[in-house]
Structure 1
Amino acid sequence: LRSAGRQTYRNLEIIVVNDGSTDDTARVVEQVALADSRIRLLSTPNRGVAAARNTGIREAAGRFVAFLDADDLWHHTKIEKQVNALNRLTPQWAAVYVLHYIINSDDEILRSCRPDVARGYIFARHLTFKYVGNGSALLVRRDVALEIGGFDSSYAAAGIGGCEDLDFELKLAARYQIEVIPERLVGYRQYPGNMSSNHLPMGRGALEVIRRSLAANPQLPQYATRSAINATQKYAFWEFRQARNTYLSLATIWSILKSEPSFVVRLALEKCLRLRQHCLRLVT
């Protein structure tokens, strides 16, 4: 809330959707709102992140909407730079994203995100490279967000929530151009227990997002389709491995093996190297 309230772009409406929380979220928001009249609290039954964001989009009065997850931070210039960027462009440019840092629970920077960026019609590339990276990095025209149906609640209903951001971004990118500000203006928080650490649904959700996106866009060239599937399977494999789900790990690595045998060879070499390093430590 403080990082949203301290934006250099002052003409903000700050909508907090209290999605059926059982802690003191409502009390904290009401206290902060005493000093900032732009803050508005909406309390709903727990329905998941997609439904909560859709509530915020519908209630918003402005031309643009931006999303800030409860555990992330915005740099104080983020919204101003994004609004200025879109105001210079035609309506066919529907959204703008920024880069981010990974931070821990103490607001300390752990590492930077990949510096890869793309702008314009990025749909085919975004399927593989997933440039936006997190839900707190995007600002989008509100009318476009409504036009594409907002965020899809069916993932959470199926028990594979966590990749609704990617689904939303791909629907945007399939129809509109997207701009980028290549500056790290978001602190994306990762710690045990937050949504991004739920490895099993994250892996399954990513695979389903790409499956749906490819099915909805059959005109894509085969090389783009193969690249998207291959990259997402690799991501899912690491998620399944961290979740210690042997069946899904093996099933995914088998799929990868068919198209990229060298990936499995690299895994084997990395494991051998780790074992060697472990043995050397024991010897020394």
Structure 2
Amino acid sequence: MGPGAGGNAARDAGIRAAAGNLIALLDDDDVWHDGRLETQLNAIRSAGLHDHDAWIASCSVQVSRSGQFVDVWPHDVYDEVRPLAEYLFARTAARGGTGFIQASTLLFPRWLALDVPFDAGLRFHQDVTWLLETVRQHSRLRILQIKAPLVVYRVGAASVSSAIRADASTEWALEYVSRHSRRALGDFLLTQPVYYARAGGNLPAALRAVRLGIRRGRPSASAVAYAFFTVGRIVVDRSFGHMARA
């Protein structure tokens, strides 16, 4: 492993080298609040769970853009009633952050990540892929998400998510999200790849994601509204760009 090997390669190497029983992740552009680990550990112990059990602890995040706090995600924490894929991908509102679990919030037993390693071949959607695969392999897995925002999650031009290509996100969804419900697939395709397409000004990629989401999924009204609004913004951005160059 060396520079450019990717986040999952670094996580896997750190997990294998760790001497303790628990692993807590932190991406290099995020920040933990004081007391993050203590609060999560107290929640785990209160739930009667131990290091040898299958569990993952998470929390909410303060979203920071350009140094300013703009929101707290998720708006509704995971309650273990819905399947994880439905919580993460099925939209209940047009705005973002309705279902959200991020890498820098994760705390879990080391043995769990040795049993289900992070896929070093993935360069994006890494944490959510691991979560879905861990749930698939461990039917008794507990996921406890604390409502308190204990992590600062930085988004913007320098973040890894900003470099994701819309078409790559679409292909990921067709492989991983299609294993779940048509609602989850449709909502994901009409939101995430479309968001990345707008960041890259890629109208064809946005339209492809929308077309596949409607044809192969069953998107909610919230996802449809988000997609058409965002596609419209891409068209407007491209039009102004052409006018500026004329």
Q: TM-score, normalised by structure 1?
A: 0.66
The 8 Å contact of residues 21 and 111 in structure 2, kept in 1 or not, is answered as: yes
Structure 2 distance, partners of 1:206, 1:133, is 20
Matched, 1:247 2:224: no
Q: Is the 8 A contact 2:77 2:145 kept in 1?
A: yes
Instruction: Provide the rounded CA distance (Å) in 1 between the counterparts of 2:17 and 2:142.
Output: 25
Distance 1:131 1:140, change over 3 A: farther
User: Secondary structure in 1 aligned to 2:165?
Assistant: helix
CA distance in 1, matches of 2:63, 2:39: 21
Deviation, 1:229, is 0.4
Give me the TM-score of the superposition, normalised by structure 2: 0.75
Give unmatched runs, 5+ long, in structure 1.
1-18, 20-43, 156-160, 276-284
For the 8 Å contact 1:210–1:232, the answer to whether it is kept is no
> What displacement does 1:271 show?
4.6
Q: Which residue of 2 aligns with 1:152?
A: 119
Between 1 and 2, higher relative CO (CA 8 Å, sep ≥ 6) is seen in 2
Assess if the C-alpha contact under 8 Å between 1:57 and 1:65 holds in 2: yes
Deviation readout 1:129-165 (Å, 9 max, x if unpaired): 584432101111110111112x11122xxxxx22101
Bigger mean CA offset, 205-214 vs 226-235: 205-214
Q: Quickly say closer, same or farther: Cα 1:208–1:61, change in 2 above 3 A.
A: same
Measured at CA, do residues 206 and 117 of structure 1 come closer, stay the same or move farther in structure 2, by a change above 3 Å? farther
Structure ID, larger Rg: 1
Q: Aligned residue for 1:280?
A: none
The structural deviation recorded for 1:127 is 4.8
Q: 1:38 corresponds to which residue? A: none
Aligned residue in 2 for 1:180: 145
Count of residues in Structure 1 that have an aligned counterpart in Structure 2: 216
Do the aligned residues in 2 keep the contact of 1:101 with 1:184 (CA within 8 Å)?
A: yes
- Aligned match of 1:137 in 105, 115, 129? 105
In structure 1, the residue matched to 2:239 is none
**Residue 123 of structure 1 corresponds to which residue in structure 2?**
84
Code of the residue aligned with 1:111 in structure 2: it is D
Once superposed, what is the RMSD of the aligned Cα atoms? 3.1
User: One-letter code of the match for 2:35?
Assistant: T
Aligned to 2:38: 80
Deviation at 1:247, TM superposition (A): 2.4
Q: Distance in 1 between matches of 2:144 and 2:220?
A: 36
Q: 1:265 offset after TM fit, Å?
A: 10
Give the secondary structure class of the aligned counterpart of 2:79: coil
Could you say if the C-alpha distance between residues 271 and 81 of structure 1 is closer, same or farther in structure 2, counting changes exceeding 3 Å? Answer: same
Q: Which of these residues, 154, 172, 181, is aligned with residue 208 of structure 1? A: 172
Change in CA separation of 1:111 and 1:269 when aligned onto 2, cut-off 3 Å = closer
Q: Does the C-alpha gap of structure 1 residues 137 and 207 become closer, same or farther in structure 2, counting only changes over 3 Å?
A: farther
User: Equivalent residue of 1:189, what SS?
Assistant: strand
Q: 1:226 to 1:45 in 2, by over 3 A?
A: same
Q: Tell whether the 8 Å contact from 1:253 to 1:264 is kept in structure 2 after alignment.
A: no
Q: Secondary structure at the match of 1:68?
A: coil
For the 8 Å contact 1:48–1:153, the answer to whether it is kept is: yes
**Equivalent pair of 1:94/1:177 in contact (CA under 8 Å):** yes
**Relative to 1, partners in 2 of residues 1:112 and 1:238: Cα closer, same or farther, differing over 3 Å?**
same
Moved more, 128-137 or 81-90: 128-137
SS in 2 for 1:181: strand
Comparing 80-89 with 177-186, greater Cα deviation is found at 80-89
Q: Is the 8 A contact 1:82 1:97 kept in 2?
A: yes
Confirm or deny: 8 A CA contact 1:126 1:170 kept in the other structure. no
CA contact (8 A) 2:55 2:108 kept: yes
Please say if 1:50 is aligned against 2:8: yes
Asked if 1:192 corresponds to 2:152, the answer is no
